[in-house]
Amino acid sequence: MTERNQPLTFQVGDHELVIRRRYEVVSIVNDLMIGGWFLIGSLLFLSPTTTHTGTWLFVVGSAQLLIRPIVRLSRNLHLKRITSVPTGLLGSSHDF
């Protein structure tokens, strides 16, 4: 397993929080936040005095909807430094 695929581990008191599949976790947290913004924004639209704030929460939720494909794309695309390690007779280490 490469270093990028290693789970993140945090000590929380007497417990250990282990985060595996980071991109999936980021995507889930983003989806939860989107749902929260739109729910709160919808509730704020029920009163004319809070409509302005509700509108801004819809804008924030819409911006986060743009983050979803960015997270999915970055999960599938990685920019990797090309090293000049000799590969001998095996060919390039960058062959697919």
pLDDT in tens, 31-65: 899 999 999 999 998 999 999 999 999 999 999 88
pLDDT of 88: 55
The predicted model scores a pTM of 0.58
C-alpha to C-alpha distance for 20 and 8, rounded to whole angstroms: 7
Distance CA 81, CA 5 (A): 17
30/61 Cα distance (integer angstroms): 10
* Residue spans per domain, the chain: 21-78
Short-list 28, 29, 41, 34, CA closest to 61: 34
